[in-house]
Structures are given as structure tokens and as C-alpha cells.
Structure 1
Amino acid sequence: MAHEHDTGYKLLFSDKLMVRDLVQGFIDEPWLRQLDFDTLERVNGQYVTEDMRNREDDVVWRVRSGEDWLYLYLLIEFQSTDERFMALRMMVYVGLLYQDLIRQKQLPPDGLLPPVLPIVLYNGDPRWRSPTALSELLPKLPGFLAALQPQMRYVLIDEGAYPEEVLLQQPRNLAASIFRLEQPLTLDKVKTAVDALELATRPEEYKTVRRLVAIWLRALLKRNKKYPMLLPELEDLQELRVMLSQRMEQWAEGFIAQGEQKGRLEGRLEGEARLLARLLTRRFGELPAWVEERLNAASEEQLATWSDAVLDANSLTEVFAEPPASH
């Protein structure tokens, strides 16, 4: 799942319009909104370290800034699991980026290192809890020693921390639309989010991002846990939206049928467990708690096996074919 998340997001955020909306919509810093995001350009994020090991950042972009320095570099890492030492990892990634810029002689005329905006984009569950600053991973130190320690902090964008009503306040923000689709899906929410996304990407400048979102969305719906939706390999968001509308009724029927089937199975298992409990009680007296737990969690095959054993067994342990766990 983590690999699918990284691959899908690398695809989405290979488009500068998606990167623009992520930064402008989810980093609360007015100064960033003044940057000329039309100048965004992708930067090579693959390096060879000093010990000859390869390292590839998820996404690296740069954007032209003001008069004092030429570029601001955006280093975006995608996470689907909480990582306690993420601040340390980001410090390493920024260091590798700087080493590569020096090696490639891509520093500005003044020879100073360009600023880097490190971003961690997290779509996992539960919410992110790890430190966002390297100092939080170090012990309390005297002032002299503390000043000598490396400093690193990153911007965390935790998708699940944004309620839907907050995301709806940015109806034309591409990143907000993606976040909505990453949240638990219902038929109505899928349709509403896809409709808004398709409407926002109708201008010609969104031609590339429409294709990228269509590919990503098709994969997202395919791996839906409750009821996967298989769609043809369309690479245009408008075509996918039309196909999605046609499949909505089929998807709804699948949810209903799946729920009814699950309900019938659970009801049958509950009835079989109650019947077996009565037989066990008549043979062996009041049932201990561990037996009740086994019956409540049993599969259909287990109940059938225990029902066959109840007539010949001399004890509850023999019925269940193994000693109970200690309580």
C-alpha cells in the first residue's frame, strides 16, 4: 500500500499545477503565495551519495523567487505511515540536494546555498504524531552544546487532519480535491468530488493534470476496500467521470448485495453458535468465559467441527481440540 501511495503521488505531483495548489492551499504563509508559480520547474531528485549509494527523493521542484536569491527549492516527501525520525531523514535529503547542487555547479552567482522548503505529505491513518523538528529528537542540552546541534524542521501536511467542510472551502484547489477522495468514500462523496475536480480542470492549461488525475483515480477506485470499482483504462478525467456515473448504480447494488450477504452470514453463524452453546451446557454445565469467546469469534467451519465433536468428547478441552488460553 505504501508503494502504491508513493507511486500515485509521484504521478500526481509531477504536474506543477498540483504542486502550486498544494503549497498555496495548505501552507499558511502569505509570502509563499507571492511566488511566481508559473516558473515552477522539476529538478532531478536522484543522487549518488559519497559512499556511492543511490538516493531518490520523491519530488523536487524549484520556483523563482525575489531579487535576493534566484530559486526556492521544494522538496516533497510522501508518507503513508508515521515515521518517528522523519526530521532526521529530511535533514539527510536536504544535505544530499545541496551536495548535488554543488557538484553540478548550480549555485547562484553569490555562491550561497539556495533555501529549501521541506514538505512531508502524509495520507495515513491515524494522525501524524512524530516530531516535525530534529530538536525534539534530542535530549535537553546546555545552551552552549544545544547551539552546536544540527537544526531541521519540515512542514507537515496531514491530509486526514482536514475535515471535509474545510476542504470544501477550496472547491477549485486540485490538492484539496485529491484529499477529499482519499478520505472514506461513499457514493455521493465520490460523485461530488469527481464532479468538482472535473469542473476545475476544464481549462486547457489543465490538460496534463486531467490525464494524471484520471489514471490515479482509476487506481484509487480499483483498490477501494469495501467494494472495488473496475473501470476501463481511460486517460481523460471527463471520460472517466461519464463512465463513473454509469457505474454508480452498479456500485450501489454491489454495496447493498454485499451488506445483505454479510448480514445473512452473521445471522446464521450467531444461530449456530447459540445452538452449540446449549448443547455444550447440557453436557458440561455452565460454560466458562473462554468458551463463550471462542464461540462468538468462530467461523462456519469451526462451528461445524465443534458440533461434530460434542457428542463423543469427555470435556470441553476435547471439543475444542486444544487447551484454552490462560485467563
Structure 2
Amino acid sequence: MVEMGILGLPQSGKSTLFEIMTGVSDRDSHGDPCQRGQAMVPDSRFDHLVDIFQPLKASPARVPFIDVNFRGDNAGESIRQVLNGSDGLVHVVDGFSSQNIQDILGHYRKLADDLILSDLLIVENRLERLARLPVKALKPLDQSHLQILPELKLHLEKGLPLRDMDLSDDVLNSLKSFSFLTIRPELVVINMGENDAPVANTSCNIADFPLPAIDISCRIEAELIGMTLPEQGEFLHDLGIDEPAFRRIIRESFSLLGRISYFTVGEDEVKAWVIPAGSRAPRAAAAIHKDFERGFIKAEVVSYEDFVACGDTLAGAKAAGKLRLEGKDYVIKDGDIVSFRFNV
């Protein structure tokens, strides 16, 4: 299962953001080095399908998050131990103690530099071990590492994350065992003060900022916890906010992980199934059950947009020729409504 790690300096607001998105409080951590929770992916298409089919059960897409707690020095290694299996990072940055751009950038760089240093130490240690091996003892993977690791070392020594390098899929696969932190995709979230709420929920256009970022006021959006949807709507309307920023953070995290969702619909359940982008139909079917992949015959597919245009009914989509049969080479699209035919 893919997972996003939430990290940030102490008092940055990362644990508050984690609670806002997942409903899991750090008060329940009992001193553990991390907290795990899942956030529902906001999707108006899913909500519409639930309204149409009125199912007994509604199962939206979810993003697993892990909140990293660390104290003291050597932050990079502490984070690595917890996030060894994570696939992406949400880096929460203090933007409330100072509105000076350079101060905010400094908060970001402090932890980012620790992660870069941690990766650099791994590269250096590996190169030292390889240098001690006789040439005849080098395996093909060792030879590959001897070619690519010096390039990684030079890049990291410039203070740059590995994700900025244009590395091929083959190279990335050869580096998986290192669990580099800075090679993972990263979403920067700037936690603004309450007085900056009107600028929250928009993209940061900060000159020289290393990555696109999302603004949020965690203190304000924490007020949404425990509110009903109508209460949330009224609260946000009073603040002039169309949508809470945490929902966009969840969606961006989902996208950053390279995931899409397709839907199965019916009176029993409407469900969003999470799959890697680019998945062909049999692999997508495996998300439901391995037997669906093993015995795959055809996929009956209609896009969400065509479904809506045809009167919000599968019968209407079929009559309009929009409900079609696809074979094993069909690549499932985000938002497809799918029913699989299989035989085992």
C-alpha cells in the first residue's frame, strides 16, 4: 500500500494537519515515533454517484498518511527509520512565526538540508564499501552503483534533492534498496497564521521557493474537526474560503503518489478503487480481487463524463453507445465506471 509521510520541524503544525486530514490525534500516540491514519480523497464525482445510486455502502478512495515524530539532532536518520516504506512526503513549514519569505524558506531548508545530508552519508558509505571490494568481487548491481552514485554524490553536495535529477526508471529501480528520502516526491505545505487566512487555500508564488506549495492555516481549519457539513460550510463562508485547504492537500498527495481511481456502482455499494496511473484493465481488476485479474475476459466501461451526459444511468449510456467493452490492453482512465467480466 502506498503511503505519504508527513514531516516538519517541531511546532510546525504537522501533527495538527495530520489530525485535520485523518481524524487521528497525536494525543493517542502514547509516545510512539509515528502515527498512522487514512484520509478520504475529496471527489465530487464519487459524491454524485452516491447521490444517484443511494447505495447501502459508500467507499471513497483513501490516502494513508504517517505522521513522523522526532526529537533532537540527526533528524534525517530518525525520519528515515520511520518512513522507510513511504512513497512520498508532505513537508509542513512554519509560515506563522514570520511572514518574511526568507524566514519561511529558512524553516524549509533546515529540515530539507538534514534529509539531503542523510542521503549523502548513505551514498558516501556505499562508495567506501565498494572501493574496498576486489574488482572480481563486484556484481552487476555494484558496477551500476559505481557509475551512478558519484553523480548522486555531486548533486547532493550542491544541497539539491535527488528528486531534481533526471533518473531513468532502470536507475531508480537499482537505487530502491537505499531508501533515499530526497528521491521521493514532495509536497510543501506552508502553515500560515490566523490573520493570513484570506491568502490560505491558494498556491504560493514565492520567488526562489524550491517547490510548488500550498498555504493553509492549520489553526483555523482545526476548527472544522467535529463540525457537521452544514456547520463547516457556514464557517468557511464567513471566512471567505470556498474549500478548506486540507482537501486540496489530500488530492495533491493522491496525485503525487501516481494514483487514480475508478468506480464500481450499484445499489449495494459505490466504491472508488485506487490503482497506479497507467494500469491496464486486468491489473485494475486485481484491486477488487486477484481472481478478477486471473480470469479477466472484458471490462465494461463508461467514462464518468459520458455517464452524466447520458442522464446519470448506465442504460442511457448503453443506448448512446458510450458503454463499451474493452480488452486486456485497455488503460483504465481516472473516473471510469467499470464492471469486469471474468471466469475462473
Flag the structure with more relative contact order, 1 or 2, with Cα contacts below 8 A and sequence separation at least 6: 2
Looking at secondary structure, tell me which structure has more helix per residue. Answer: 1
Looking at secondary structure, tell me which structure has more strand per residue. Answer: 2
Provide the TM-score with structure 1 as the length reference. Answer: 0.28
Provide the TM-score with structure 2 as the length reference. Answer: 0.27
Structure whose CA Rg is larger: 1
